[in-house]
C-alpha cells in the first residue's frame, strides 16, 4: 500500500527523550573531560560504539549486515523484499570531537525504527540504518571512506590498504575489532541523512530545520611562496623579498574572491606556516593552504582562475617565486530536488521554521547521492561549532529533525498502519 | 707624541692575506658542512676559539685579562699607562652562523696589533682587543650580554644566573670552559668595531666602507589575535571571526608604517603562528611578532602609536580580541660624531668608496658607546646575507675595513714610529 505523496502519516512519533538518551549513552564511549568524544575510526572505542548501536538496532528487530569495509547496515523488513529506504551517517569522531556530529544521524535512524515499532507500522519497503566507516578521515584517509567506496568513488582494495600513523592498515583494524564483514551492501531506494548544521546559519536565523539542497564543490590548494630570508634590521624595505607580505596579501584576496562570486562562495586560508619564523628575520618562505567552495562547478572554476591570476600578480609584485598546486577536488553535489522539497514541506507542515541551504562540508550523503535519490536534514548546533568538544545541540531541535526524518522515510517507504 | 688630527700615518699596513688566514683558521672551529660555523657562546668550541685567538694576541705581545663575565681583553702596551683604545666584537655565532659576523671585528683587531708590531709602532695609549661574551644571545639571553654588562645595562649577577635550555647557567658555563675571570675590565679612551654590514646596501651601491652613524632604535611587540575557530565550509563570510584575516591586514600595515615614516624606518613581522592551523578550519587564533626600528626615538614612538591605533581599528572591524604587548625596547644609538666623520675621511683618503649609514641591527658597540666615544666600520657582505651558513665577504673589502680601522686606531692612540 503506497502512501500517496503529500499525505503526512500521523501514526508514528519519535520520542525526544529516548533519542536524547541514546545520544548520551553513545557519547559515554570515548567521552572526554571537556564533554566531547574521542572515538576514532576502527579503534576499540569504535567497536564498543558499533556493538552498542548495532545491539539496539538488532533488539529493535533489524537484521545486521556488515560489508567488506565495515559499513554496517541494519535492515527493518518491509512488506516487500525491495531496496530499502536508507537512513545513515557515521559514529567515528574527530580527535577532539563532539557528541552529535554523525552520531545524530545514526541515532535518529534508530529512533525512527523504534517509533515505527511503537506504532506497529509495517512499511512497504524495508527501512535501513547505515553506519558508514571512517567518515572523519582523522585516522585513515580518504575522508568519507565507507560511503565513498560504497558509491564507487574509491576502490575497496585501496581503502583496505590505507594505513594510520602507526602503520596499521584499514584491513588489519577492521579484523582486530571484528568488523571485516562479508555481506553485500544493500542498494537504497532513497537515502536520508540528518545532521547538525556545523555552521551558524540556522541558529542565527532561529530556524529549526534546514532542507539541504546540496553540498558545495571544493577545490583545495597548496601554495608555497619563496622570497629571501634577511635581517629585519639592516634590510631596507625596498630591498626585501618578504614571503609573508605576499602571503598576507593573498589571504585577503581569498576573502575578496569569496565575497565577489555568487552561489555560496567560500574561501579560507586555514593553514599558514612561516619559515624561518624568527622575530627579527624577514620570512623567506611561507606555505599556506587555500580552500575554495561553491555550489556551482562553473563558478568554482571561475574562482580558481581568479586565484591563479591573483597569486601570479602578487608574486611578481613582491618578487616571490610562487607554486600553486591543486590537491583536492570535490564536485558540487545536488541533492534530489523532489526530496529536498518534501523535507521543506514536511517541516513546514509540522510547524517548524525551515529554510533551504547548502552544506558547506562534505557528508556521507554526498557520495550516497551518486547511487540513489538522497537528501539531508540539518538542525542547528550551538554557535555553529562542531569538530570541537563543546559541540552542542538542543534536544527539541534534534527531536524535530528526527520527526521530519520519520515522515520522509514513511513517505519514501510507503507507510501503513499494521 | 700626539698625531695631529687629520694626519694619516703611513707607517703601518695590515696584511690582507694574514687577516684572511686568521678568519679561516677560526672558522674551522665549529665549521659546518655547508661552509658556516656553529660555535655557541661558552661551549667547548667557544673555548677553543677563545684559546686560539687569545693565544695569537698573547703571541703578539698583548696582556690578557678576563673579567667576571668572560669578556676577554688583550692589551698591547703604549708609551703611557692610560686608558687603551679598544677594538672589539664577538666570536660566538648563531646556531647556523657564518665565518664573519663578529669574528671579523675581533680578527681585524688582531691584524691591527700585528701590523703595529710589523712597523714597530709604539702608540701613546695602549691598544686593546675585546672579545665580548654571548653577543648573539642564541644560547643565553639577553643578547649582547658581555658588552651590555660592561656598560652597566645588565647586572653581573643577573647575567651569571641566566640559564640555557639545558638548565646550565652562565656562571657554570664560564667555569666549565675556564673563562670565569677575576680581572677588571679596562675603560676605553675610544672604541671601534668593524663588522660586516649584514644588510644589502653597500653591495648594492658598490661601496666598500660604511661609516656607521648609529644603530636604529628598536621596539618589539607580541600580538595575539583571538577570533573563533569554525568550519571553513559551513560558515558564511559575514559570520566569520577569522584571526588570520586580521593578522594579514596587520602584516601589511606594518609595512605601510615602515614606508610612511622617515629616519630609516623598518617594520617586520618575522614570526606568525596560526591556530589550529588546519586546512579546513577558520583560524581562531594568531600570534605574531612585530619589530619596529627607527634612527630617531621620537619617530619610533610615533610609529608605535600608529601601530597601536591600527591594531585596534582592525581588531574592531574583524571582531577580534587583540592583545599587543611591548617586549623589548632598545633606544637609538648615535655614535661619536667626530669618529664617524674621521672614518669617512680616512676611507676616502685611502681611495675607498664610502657612505654613511645606520646599523639596523644591534652590536656590542651600541653598549660600549655608553662608556666612551665609539664608532663602527661596515664592509659589504655577499647578498647582504648574515646569520646564515652561506654568509660571505670579499677579502679585499675585509682588508680595506681593517686598514681604515688601523688608521683610526693610530689616530686615537697617538701613533708614532718607534
CA distance B387 to A117: 74
Test the B interface: residue of A98, A141, A270, A359 with most B CBs within 10 Å: A270
Contact A150, A368 (CB under 8 A): yes
Residues of chain A contacting B225 with CB distance shorter than 8 Å: none
From B230, B234, B293, residue closest to A233, measured CB to CB: B293
The domains located in chain A, with CATH, are 16-215+332-413 (3.40.630.10), 217-330 (3.30.70.360)
Which tens digit of pLDDT belongs to each residue from A340-356?
A: 999 999 999 999 999 99
From B198, B249, B283, residue closest to A270, measured CB to CB: B283
B310 touches chain A (CB under 8 A): no
CA distance B203 to B392: 12
Which tens digit of pLDDT belongs to each residue from A71-111?
A: 999 999 999 999 999 999 999 999 989 999 999 999 999 99
Mark yes or no for CB contact A385/B230 under 8 Å: yes
Query: CA angle, B261 as apex, B260 and B264 as ends, to 5°?
Result: 120
CA distance B90 to A305: 53
Residues of chain B contacting A236 with CB distance shorter than 8 Å: 199-201, 264, 266
Higher pLDDT, B108 or A278: B108
CA distance A12 to A28: 29
Is pLDDT of B294 > 90? yes
Average model confidence (pLDDT) for chain B?
A: 95
Contact B29, B45 (CB under 8 A): yes
- The reported pLDDT for the residue numbered A9 is 47
CA distance A352 to A401: 9
Q: Is B276 exposed, middle or buried (0-12, 13-18, 19+ CB in 10 A)?
A: middle
- The reported pLDDT for the residue numbered B387 is 85
Chain B, 223 to 262: residues with Cβ < 8 Å from chain A are 228-237, 239, 242, 244-245, 247-249, 251-252, 255, 258-259
Which tens digit of pLDDT belongs to each residue from B19-66?
A: 999 999 999 999 999 999 999 999 999 999 999 999 999 999 999 999
Please name the residues in contact with A59: beta carbons below 8 A apart, sequence gap of 6 or more: none
Is pLDDT of B120 > 90? yes
- The reported pLDDT for the residue numbered B278 is 87
- The reported pLDDT for the residue numbered B4 is 44
CA distance B232 to A290: 10
Q: How confident is the model at residue B409 (pLDDT cuts 50, 70, 90)?
A: very high
Please name the residues in contact with A50: beta carbons below 8 A apart, sequence gap of 6 or more: A72, A91, A131, A177, A179
- In this prediction the pTM is 0.86
CA distance B246 to B394: 44
What are residue B322's DSSP bridge partners? B225
Nearest CA in chain B to A275: B271
Mark yes or no for CB contact A360/B244 under 8 Å: no
Chain B, 366 to 405: residues with Cβ < 8 Å from chain A are 383-388
- The reported pLDDT for the residue numbered B96 is 87
Q: How confident is the model at residue A411 (pLDDT cuts 50, 70, 90)?
A: very high
From A231, A242, A283, residue closest to B387, measured CB to CB: A231
Contact A107, A324 (CB under 8 A): no
> How many residues are recorded in chain A?
418
Which tens digit of pLDDT belongs to each residue from A360-380?
A: 999 999 999 999 999 999 999
Mark yes or no for CB contact B277/A291 under 8 Å: no
Contact A413, A123 (CB under 8 A): yes
Which tens digit of pLDDT belongs to each residue from B236-259?
A: 899 999 999 999 999 999 999 999
Which tens digit of pLDDT belongs to each residue from A159-177?
A: 999 999 999 999 999 999 9
CA distance B231 to A385: 8
Average pLDDT over every residue of B210-232? 96
Q: What percent of chain B has pLDDT over 90?
A: 90
- The reported pLDDT for the residue numbered B313 is 98
3-state SS class at A191: strand
Please name the residues in contact with B313: beta carbons below 8 A apart, sequence gap of 6 or more: none
Q: Tell me, what's the ipTM?
A: 0.87
Chain B, 63 to 122: residues with Cβ < 8 Å from chain A are none
Test the B interface: residue of A248, A355, A382, A391 with most B CBs within 10 Å: A248
Amino acid at each position: 500500500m503506497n502512501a500517496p505523496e503529500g499525505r503526512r502519516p500521523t501514526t508514528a512519533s519519535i520520542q525526544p527523550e529516548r533519542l536524547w538518551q541514546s545520544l548520551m549513552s553513545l557519547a559515554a564511549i570515548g567521552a572526554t573531560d571537556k564533554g566531547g568524544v574521542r572515538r576514532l575510526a576502527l579503534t576499540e572505542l569504535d567497536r564498543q560504539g558499533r556493538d552498542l548501536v548495532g545491539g539496539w538496532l538488532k533488539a529493535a528487530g533489524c537484521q545486521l549486515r556488515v560489508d567488506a569495509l565495515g559499513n554496517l547496515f541494519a535492515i527493518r523488513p518491509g512488506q516487500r523484499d525491495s531496496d530499502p529506504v536508507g537512513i545513515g551517517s557515521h559514529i567515528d569522531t574527530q580527535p577532539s570531537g563532539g557528541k552529535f556530529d554523525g552520531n545524530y544521524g545514526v541515532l535518529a535512524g534508530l529512533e525512527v525504527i523504534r517509533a515505527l515499532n511503537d506504532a506497529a507500522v509495517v512499511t512497504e519497503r524495508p527501512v535501513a540504518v547505515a553506519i558508514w566507516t571512517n567518515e572523519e578521515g582523522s585516522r585513515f584517509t580518504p575522508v568519507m571512506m565507507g560511503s565513498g567506496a560504497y558509491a564507487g568513488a574509491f576502490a575497496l582494495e585501496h581503502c583496505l590498504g590505507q594505513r594510520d600513523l602507526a602503520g596499521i592498515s584499514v584491513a588489519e583494524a577492521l579484523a582486530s575489532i571484528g568488523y571485516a564483514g562479508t555481506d553485500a551492501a544493500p542498494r537504497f531506494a532513497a537515502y536520508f541523512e540528518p545532521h547538525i548544521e556545523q555552521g551558524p546559519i540556522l541558529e542565527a536565523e532561529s530556524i529549526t530545520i534546514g532542507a539541504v539542497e546540496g553540498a558545495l564543490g571544493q577545490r583545495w590548494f597548496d601554495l608555497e611562496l619563496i622570497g629571501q630570508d634577511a635581517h629585519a634590521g639592516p634590510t631596507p624595505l625596498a630591498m626585501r623579498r618578504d614571503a609573508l607580505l605576499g602571503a598576507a596579501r593573498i589571504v585577503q584576496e581569498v576573502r575578496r574572491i569569496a565575497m565577489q562570486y555568487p552561489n555560496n562562495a567560500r574561501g579560507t586560508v586555514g593553514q599558514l606556516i612561516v619559515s624561518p619564523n624568527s622575530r627579527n628575520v624577514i620570512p623567506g618562505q611561507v606555505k599556506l593552504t587555500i580552500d575554495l567552495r561553491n555550489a556551482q562547478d562553473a563558478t568554482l572554476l571561475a574562482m580558481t582562475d581568479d586565484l591563479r591570476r591573483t597569486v601570479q600578480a602578487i608574486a611578481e609584485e613582491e618578487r616571490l617565486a610562487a607554486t600553486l598546486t591543486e590537491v583536492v577536488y570535490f564536485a558540487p553535489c545536488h541533492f534530489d530536488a523532489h526530496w529536498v522539497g518534501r523535507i521543506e514541506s514536511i517541516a513546514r507542515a509540522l510547524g517548524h521554521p525551515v529554510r533551504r541551504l547548502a552544506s558547506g562540508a562534505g557528508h556521507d550523503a554526498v557520495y550516497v547521492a551518486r547511487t540513489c535519490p538522497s537528501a539531508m536534514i540539518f538542525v542547528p548546533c550551538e554557535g555553529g561549532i562542531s569538530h570541537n568538544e563543546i559541540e552542542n545541540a538542543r534536544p527539541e531541535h534534534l527531536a524535530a529533525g528526527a520527526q521530519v526524518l520519520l515522515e520522509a522515510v514513511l513517505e519514501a517507504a510507503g507507510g501503513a498502519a499494521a
